[in-house]
Amino acid sequence: MLGVNNIDVGYNKSRVIHDMSFKVNPEEILVIMGRNGMGKTTLLKSLIGILPSTSGSIKLGDQEIAGMDSYQRVRSGIGFVPQGRMIFPSLTVTENILSGARGNVAQSTWDEIYALFPVLHEMRKRKGGNLSGGQQQQLAIARALVANPKILILDEPTEGIQPSIIKDIGRALKEIRNMRKIAIIVTEQVVSFMMDVCDRVLVMERGRFIHEAYRDSLNSDKIKALLAV
Amino acid sequence: MFGYTWSELSSIFVMQSFSGFSLFSVLLLMALGLAIIFGQMGVVNLAHGEFMALGAYTVYLCSEIVHKHIPALAPYYFIVAIVAAFFAAGLVGLFVEWSLIRFLYKRPLDTLLATWGLSLIMQQAFRSIFGAREVTPTLPDWLMGSFKPSATIDIPINGVFVMGLTLLLTFGVWLFMFRSRTGLQMRATVQNRVMSGAVGINTKLVDRFTFSLGCGIAGVAGAAFTTIGSTGPDSGSRYIVDTFLVVVFGGTASLLGTVASAFGIAQSQSILEFFLKGTMGKVSVLTLIVIVLMIRPKGLFASKVRS
Ligand SMILES: Nc1ncnc2c1ncn2[C@@H]1O[C@H](COP(=O)(O)OP(=O)(O)O)[C@@H](O)[C@H]1O
Ligand SMILES: [Mg+2]
């Protein structure tokens, strides 16, 4: 599905991601755990092309995407939900969703989105900037979905969001995977959310993976220990 | 007051308002184009006035061609000329973005310098092609008449026509920005360029389109300008300062702000001009703007949405 090989990513001279390689399997929810500042956001930015990798390759299916602009990567099949949501504050909810679409959005897609996130239907005429954090998070996911991604990437979707909505988001992610048969990468710090959604987990420390576990052999205490300072 | 009777004063007021309408139209269209480009790309286009002049010269060219070769169309050519002015300025704008501006994004000083250089080049080009003397298109007769609603009031038709055209175009731009897909992509890009790319918008293409659209609108401003003045190589540079005033005053974020500020500046200038000498009118307007900006530094109509 997605194959990342030996990528380096950084800001000017300081390298944050070191010679990193990993694969994402079809229809898998991969959770990448790591404390603040370990390089999760940097990694995801390099996948979507906001911060291009300086070496190595990123393959989506058979297609090499490492040299592409962000918008081309989206068109190739990467959906991106950034940390902090980054919805367009003065566009309405509907306009925010449309901004992610090419051409018209099929009625079935609207139905799917509103079934996943009923609150977006109620709020559809409101400005994105006037939504709560949880609603904005749902909006950011919907915006990524209308481009029909083959793989959805989310950066700390639970950050700063109240527990009841965190549950909704976990449920939505599993439903998206089941309905659309796509792969999902999520970065996280919250172990309970990871336990809820993951098929596999990778733990990141200072730009490298230090632990990998599949759902059936997962030890949450071990992961908690790795995340403790 | 000033040695006029009240009824004379009110006639002067009405007539100067109408002559203010033409100025308002030119300023509004200029400011609209400038604000769209600046708001979208952060590019201050110092050659914007020359795109206006380009539009005016296009109308002149159409006039010459029609009157020489197809005089039967003379009464109607002006409408077509407006469209031609839009596309001429728009296409040159497209070429300028592609060949120059796109290499200078995120380098505001270089952009200023480059667009200033461009304005000099364009002025020289006008001088070489059309000569240093000012030219005037032959306007159709119906456009040059006037209404006389009372003995002392004389309302020029061209002012009303140009104003109608301006309102139509402004409304068209609004429709485009708020009802079309490209307009949506432009608004998204203004708000968050990086994120727009990350939802699949080709922001470089949006930039090119925006620059071209802004220049095209300046071209229409030039067409409107031919009804109130004759066109010379430096006609554009004489309007650019007023245009910047309008944009600064109205803020770049809101269409309503641009309209109101163009209206205010054109009307007060035109009415004051009658009583004071031209430059005094300008100085008074400038003083007023400085005072307003001290009270509302982000323009009169800064938008308020939390991000
Ligand atoms: N814009 C930036 N410029 C320079 N360094 C940065 C920038 N953003 C993040 N970093 C550094 O990169 C490292 C990884 O940050 P980040 O990827 O945001 O981590 P995480 O998302 O896991 O919290 C940190 O040391 C951080 O200080
Ligand atoms: Mg982060």
For residue B157, being part of any structural domain is answered with yes
Question: How close is the nearest chain B Cα to the Cα of A204, in Å?
Answer: 24
- Cα(first)–Cα(last) distance of chain A, in Å? 33
User: Is A130 an interface residue toward B (CB < 8 Å)?
Assistant: yes
DSSP output for chain B? -TT--HHHHHHHHHHHHHHHHHHHHHHHHHHHHHHHHHHHH----TTHHHHHHHHHHHHHHHHHHHHHH-GGGTTTHHHHHHHHHHHHHHHHHHHHHHHTGGGSTT-HHHHHHHHHHHHHHHHHHHHHHH-SS-B-----HHHH-EEEEETTEEEEHHHHHHHHHHHHHHHHHHHHHHHSHHHHHHHHHHH-HHHHHHTT--HHHHHHHHHHHHHHHHHHHHHHHTTTS-B-TTHHHHHHHHHHHHHHHH-SS-HHHHHHHHHHHHHHHHHHHHHS-HHHHHHHHHHHHHHHHHH-TT-TT------
Q: Which of A88, A131, A146 is the mutation pick for testing B, counting most B CBs within 10 A?
A: A88
Burial class (CB in 10 A: 0-12, 13-18, 19+), A45: buried
* Eight-class DSSP state of A220: H
Whether residue B100 is contained in a domain is answered as yes
Residue B266 in domain: no
Instruction: Write out chain A residues lying below 8 Å of B181, CB-based.
Output: 98
Q: Given this model, what pLDDT does residue B306 score?
A: 35
pLDDT value of residue A140: 97
Q: Tell me, yes or no, whether B8 lies in a domain.
A: no
Tell me the C-alpha distance between A218 and B80, whole Å: 73
**From CA B167, how far away is CA B155, in angstroms rounded?**
18
Q: For A128, which residue in chain B has the nearest alpha carbon? A: B307
Question: Would residue B1 count as lying in a domain?
Answer: no
- Rounded average pLDDT over B128-134: 94
Residue B120 within a domain: yes
User: Are residues A91 and B188, on separate chains, in Cβ contact within 8 Å?
Assistant: yes
> Which is nearest to A187 in space by CA: A58, A80, A52?
A80
- Residue A75 with chain B: CB contacts under 8 Å: 200
Residue bearing the bigger pLDDT, A84 or B1: A84
pLDDT at B243 over 50: yes
The reply to whether B254 falls in a domain is no
Mean pLDDT of chain A: 95
Percentage of chain B exceeding pLDDT 70: 87
Name residues 81-100 of chain A within 8 A of B (Cβ): 82, 86, 88-91, 95, 98-100
Beta carbons of A200 and A213 less than 8 angstroms apart = yes
pLDDT value, residue B299: 60
List A residues 145-164 in contact with B (Cβ-Cβ < 8 A): 147
- Taken in order of first residue, the domains within chain A and their CATH numbers are 2-87+150-228 (3.40.50.300)
What is the whole-number distance in angstroms between the Cα of residue A65 and the centre of ligand 2?
A: 22
* Alpha helical stretches, state H, chain A: 40-48, 70-76, 93-99, 107-116, 118-122, 133-145, 163-180, 191-197, 220-227
State how many domains chain B has.
Answer: 1
Alpha carbon A153 to chain centroid, angstroms: 2
Pick the closest to residue B205 from A87, A51, A140, A72 (CA basis): A72
Please state which of the ranges B132-141, B152-161, B241-250, B290-299 shows the lowest mean pLDDT: B290-299
More confident residue, B296 or B260: B260
What domain range is B70 assigned to? Answer: 25-238
Closest approach atom of ligand 1 to CA A38: 22
**pTM, 2 dp:** 0.86
* pLDDT greater at residue B42 or residue B78: B78
Which comes out higher in pLDDT, residue A62 or B14? A62
Backbone φ and ψ for A183, nearest 5 degrees, come out as: -90, 155
Residue B218 in contact with residue B48, Cβ under 8 Å?
Answer: yes
Q: Do the domain assignments include residue B268?
A: no
Q: Answer yes or no: is pLDDT of A130 > 70.
A: yes
The reported pLDDT for the residue numbered A96 is 97
pLDDT of residue B250: 75
Three-class SS of residue A27?
A: coil
Among A42, A51, A158, A203, residue to substitute to test ligand 1 (most atoms within 8 Å of Cβ): A42
Least confident window among A12-26, A87-101, B267-281: B267-281
| pLDDT 10s digits, B191-213 | 999 999 999 999 999 999 999 99
C-alpha distances out from residue B23 to A27, B8, B160, B226, B245, Å: 63, 23, 11, 11, 14
- Ligand 2 center to residue A41 CA distance, Å? 4
Mean pLDDT of chain B: 85
Task: For helices B278-295 and B235-250, give the axis angle rounded to 10 degrees.
Answer: 30
Question: Which strands form A200-205's sheet, in the order they lie side by side?
Answer: A78-81, A151-155, A183-188, A29-33, A200-205, A208-214
| A207 pLDDT above the threshold of 60 | yes
Cα separation, B25 vs B33, in Å, equals 12
Separation in Å, CA of B143 to nearest CA in chain A: 41
Give the distance (Å) from ligand 1 centre to CA of residue A10: 8
Question: What whole-number distance in Å separates Cα of residue B119 and Cα of residue B115?
Answer: 6
Instruction: Tell me what pLDDT residue A178 has.
Output: 96
- Ligand 1 probe mutation, A33, A38, A81, A202, most atoms within 8 A of CB: A38
- pLDDT of B282 reads 66
Q: What is the pLDDT of residue B198?
A: 97
Rounded to a whole number, what is the distance in Å from the CA of A122 to chain B's nearest CA?
Answer: 20
Q: How far apart are CA A173 and CA A175, in angstroms?
A: 5
pLDDT above 60: residue B302: no
Task: Please state which of the ranges A109-123, A165-179, A190-204, B105-119 shows the lowest mean pLDDT.
Answer: B105-119
Q: For residue B103, is pLDDT > 60?
A: yes
Determine contact, residues B244/B30, Cβ cutoff 8 Å: no
pLDDT band at B254 (very low <50, low <70, confident <90, very high): low
